[in-house]
Chain A
């Protein structure tokens, strides 16, 4: 009932609109016929004035909002990292798992003394960075709280594959206290959490100059790093040539270690990347196959229509043609 009444009302509206359109059409035609009688000067003045107002409004807008105000100095902004040709960032490339293994070694031997990696369990290292036995052996090196026992006491047990990597400090306050007030950030998602991602972290790790440029002010307890916004960073340079002995005997130069650990941290931030790229490849394959099939099916369905021939045979006319 309601629907029917609605329909009726819309129909009424439509008829009203039609009549209105007709009315305006009629009015427009009558007015245009009237204006041709007027002087063309007045029309041109109106157009010129409208154009002037339009141009003026644009000019006013750019006067108000056009120039960008740079409130930050380059020092405060920090040096933007250079773009490095990371192989694992290409569309059809995976992580180099040998590099991940080296990077995990660098994390464990260098970074882990200050930075936590609290979102990574040992089980996720299995098959990507370590073998199952290696990961189990690594997990048992640390102790974790058990469930409360019969007396309600919480005891310590050796770690299992399901445990998460241990943090170097008990909490953020302890971390700040130990590091002169500066909090070493958790590295689980750090590649996603910083502008420039891999390039930024690589540049930051390797970009400490021998000495700050002349006249640069470095705060107490801070180190000069051009890539860090404000250039004063609490973390000192940690990677030095030959700091780590790689098990595959790669020469452990500073940029090599930085590259490996950055790739490892990228894996930590997006462990699904290899699978994601494979899935993208699958989708490309499936959609291209379906696209090809659809074209063939279309050709098949349209074959009759495309190949038909319409012939008109005029009736035989015995009379002479007239011109």
Chain B
């Protein structure tokens, strides 16, 4: 187990190294200057400003410096916010993004599991079709449309929750979390339904039934538990989906999160923030994938983690 994790962590670093390198050179090929008033300056003035940001050095030198700083957790300085450290910026924006992501995931998965179970236990009835329909709605309406609907109907028309912004504490996070939950909800429901149906038709369930287990016991004690385990495997893609969602939701609800910052940085060619955020997203995703794999090995005794020699 320890050997396996070590090996995985090693690959994790290779991945991150490659991403850092690739992003760095991509940024260098991008059109657009991070210096906002470049066109107003004469060449000598521009050169002076570029020197300040270290843009006058040869690219390999810039790369070396960037990687050296990176190794110490320093992601450089932002161009749009004069003198602001990207590392600080990401840490400051982490809170809201994490809160929304966690709430969205938990809410989505919980309702998704419920819907999936209903659908599986009442297969091919109106319950099944209803739950499936709700689940599919979650992946068939673009999140920005759904989020706008929520904002207009619940906050503006009914006036029960804040329209946007991050000024009312936890209340501010409810609507964005619901909007984010739609993806995990759909995935969870469909996944659980399929798994449950499969589990319900397996031999041990038949055995449990024939031994006189009640419907409730069968559903929860046996089927549900076993159906839940594989759900862990979709956590990786779900986490990636939440990242995508956060870009949209944070922009619409004006949440001071990382996704919102990323979109802005793209628009103003703030290369430091683009690179920093890209790396941060990658670390997050790689870490989630590793965690899922380890977790899966622990909770499902049938799967034995090998050293990768299979």
A, B assembled together: no
B: residues with CB less than 8 A from A are none
A: residues with CB less than 8 A from B are none
